[in-house]
Amino acid sequence: MRGPRAPLFLARAVYRQRRLRDAARLLPLVGFFLLMLPLMWSDAAGAGHTAVYVFGVWALLIGLTAYVAPGLAQPEASSPAEDA
């Protein structure tokens, strides 16, 4: 019932899309890691610097998500199997 398999030259695009999804899955973990870092800092670090750091991480996460999101919103380029 299914149509013919995607031609070979598409493989690269499909591969990229899969890796993009992997990146999307990794992002919250990266964010969590970066946001836990201030806990390891000594008390000498004041609230001002910590705040600048946290907002910086926040902006970075937003930027990366905005970069990745349009590619993810595309319909799936090939069969729905999630393996690479």
Partner 1 sequence: MPFNVLVLTCLAYVAFLFLVAFVVERRASRGEMRFLRSPFVYTLSLSIYCTAWTFYGAVGSAARTGLEFLTIYLGPTLVFVGWWWVLRKLLRIGRRQRVTSIADLISSRYGKSNLLGVLVTVIAVVAATPYIALQLQSVTLSFSVFAQSSPETWAMPDRDATAIWVAAGLALFTILFGTRNLDAKEQHHGIVMAIAVEAVVKLVALLAVGIFVVWGLGGGPVAMISRIENYTDPNWAIQPGRWGGLIFLSAAAVITLPRMFQVLVVENVEEGHLARASWAFPTYLFLISLFILPIAMIGLERMPAGANPDMMVLTLPLHEGQGGLALLAFLGGFSSATSMVIVETIALATMVSNHILMPAWLWLRPQAAVSGDLRGVILLARRFSIIGVLALGLEYFRLSGGSAALAAIGQIAFAGMAQVLPALLGGIFWRGGTKLGASLGLSIGFATWGFTLFLPSFGAGGVISAEVLQHGLFDLPWLRPQALFGTEGMDPLIHSIFWSLALNIAGYAVGSLLSFPDPVERIQGAAFVNAFDDELQAERLGWTHGKAEPEALMNMAQRILGDEAAISFFEAEARAQGKAGFLPDLTPRFLAELERNLAGSVGAATAHAMISQLFGRATVTVEDLMAVATEAAQIMEYSARL
**Site residues, partner 1 (CB under 8 A):** 1-3, 21, 24-25, 27-29, 31-32, 35-36, 38-39, 43, 46-52, 54-55, 58-59, 61-66, 69-70, 72-73, 75-76, 80, 82
Q: How far is the CB of 42 from partner 1 (least distance, A)?
A: 11
Q: Tell me whether residue 9 or residue 32 sits nearer to partner 1 (CB atom).
A: 32
Residues 6+ apart with CB under 8 A from 47: none
Q: How far is the CB of 36 from partner 1 (least distance, A)?
A: 7
Residues 6+ apart with CB under 8 A from 21: 72
Contact 27, 61 (CB under 8 A): yes
Contact 2, 81 (CB under 8 A): no
